Amino acid sequence: MRTRVVLLTSLLIAATVGVLVWQWTSSVRTHVHDSKREEAVATAQTLSFAVLNQIEDANWASIRLNVDLLMRDNTELVYVMVHDARNQDRISAAEPKHLGERFVPDAVPLSATRAALSTTTRRETEVPVLTDVSFLDTVRAHRGDRVLEVAAPVYNVSRERIGTVRIGISLARVDQEVRAAMRNAILLGALALVLALLGGLLVARTLSRPIQRLAADAYKIAGGDLGHRALVDREDEIGSLAKGFNEMSRDLENSFGKLHLTLASFERFVPRTFLSVVAPEGIENIVVGTAATRQISVLFTDLRGFTTLSEGLTPMQVFELLNEYLAKMGEAIDTAGGFVDKYIGDAIMALFDDEHTDGIVRAIVAMRLALRALNVDREARGAPPIVSGIGAHCGSVVMGTIGFASKIESTVIGDAVNVASRVEGMTKDMKLDVLITGDVVARLRDKSAFKLRRIEGNVAIRGRNEPIELYTLDE
């Protein structure tokens, strides 16, 4: 009888541990791979947005600097390539550099290149590396290693493909973390099984009820309740086994916590206001087509002469300049109640989800003051001043998600966005720092709070039949 109880108890614990180990390793493998895929997708999308204007301007020197900086900052990148669709998809910027100035790279199969250049949307695939790939005398990938390649076509405002960004990110760390998770799961599972067997051999007659309770706890943990803990009310082997399961569940909870933090970091790529509209039930439930019509104020700002300004700077200095400028502008936008929707090279697109437009005008004033303070500091450092233009408009837009199951993006679509962008572009021609449309001024609660000056005559905007009123801010 005792032998039978020990045998049945051992089989029960072994099955429980097996389920737990299997679910743990499977979950870790899935989450780590998904995290790496999302990291690669975010990197490719960020780079494609960053080089859009530079490809339009054929500023390949600046693109090469950005690619070099990206490779230096991310040691898991095996290669980065930017194809020029206007030059027969020639690779005009690449790291490592030997992959550039050609049409087909020798580091990946030809089929991967054909698929990357023929896709009209973002493409993700695992490909083998055909040769050793090194960067700065460090081997990033050996021949035969697997890399996750993300290809992102770059479109201009006319929806014409002007280039393709391709990045290859090493999957070596994914394999390492999966192997480490499997080792930990097997070790913890073996420890729990040994403790269970010892307890069964010593007190077989008293095992049934505690083991059943412990098995129920283990199944709760295996079912996803990682915060559940087994009740430890014994000092014998059963108590030790319960402690072992609690340690395992604690490790699992910590591991999944890190993964959740990684996923949460990607929310920084999608403004929280967007999430409240497109994902009211959580980011994991986002579907294509979720949308809402909103009255939005749209702001565009762009640096003038940034290419000339960056020519005399090192890549790190350009990187620091952009971050310093974007931080000042972003803080002014956040303080006024807006949020940054996206960065387009050195340009910023910001949205203000408010019925009135006082917030966007306050943001413009704060941005001008912040830029003035930044230029004072730059002058003290012997650096040239930064000049920017700001355009603002408001109107009805559709805020939601577009794409398909494998590629979803949040965006706003509407005439207000196009007008705001074109108004910002007019600041340079009119030699003004700020242009605000009459629609923005009309929705102000308190016009007297701002030094507004109307531009004489109505101004025609490309793409609109009727001219519009424009205002500027006197400082």
Domain residue ranges in the chain? 270-473
Q: Is 183 exposed, middle or buried (0-12, 13-18, 19+ CB in 10 A)?
A: exposed
Q: What is the mean pLDDT of residues 456-472?
A: 85
Residue pair 190/244 in contact by the 8 Å Cβ criterion: no
CATH homologous superfamily for the domain 270-473: Nucleotide cyclase, GGDEF domain (3.30.70.1230)
Flag whether pLDDT at 355 surpasses 90.
no
- Of the two residues 241 and 105, the one the predictor is more confident about is 105
Does residue 95 register a pLDDT over 80?
yes
Percent of the chain past pLDDT 70, that is, above it, reads 83
Return the closest-CA partner of residue 422 out of 402, 441, 437, 404: 437
Identify any residues that bridge with 300 across adjacent strands, giving them in sequence order: 349, 391
- Please check the confidence at residue 309 and state whether its pLDDT lies above 80: yes
Provide the CB-side half-sphere exposure for 86 (13 A, CA).
10
Token pair of 49, please? Answer: 């947005």
Helix 60-73 and helix 2-56, axial crossing angle in degrees, nearest 10: 160
The per-residue pLDDT for range 126-168, each reduced to its tens digit, is 999 999 999 998 999 999 999 999 999 999 988 999 999 999 9
Q: Is pLDDT at 304 greater than 80 in this prediction?
A: yes
Q: Which of 109, 104, 137 is nearest to 125 (CA)?
A: 109
pTM of the model: 0.46
The bridge status of strand 77-84 relative to strand 161-170 is: antiparallel
For 127, 206, 237, 390, the CA distances from 138, given in Å and listed in that order, are 21, 61, 51, 44
pLDDT at 219 over 80: no
Taking residues 449-455, report their average pLDDT.
92
- The per-residue pLDDT for 426 is 92
Phi-psi region of 403 (alpha: psi -120 to 50; beta: other; left: phi over 0): left
Q: Look at residues 467, 468, 466, 434 and name the one whose alpha carbon lies nearest to residue 453.
A: 434
Long-range contacts of 218-222 (CB under 8 A, 24+ apart): 218/16, 218/17, 218/19, 218/20, 218/245, 219/16, 219/19, 221/20, 221/245, 221/248, 221/249, 221/252, 222/16, 222/19, 222/20, 222/23
- 219, with CB counted inside 10 A (0-12, 13-18, 19+), is middle
Would you state the pLDDT for residue 232? Answer: 62
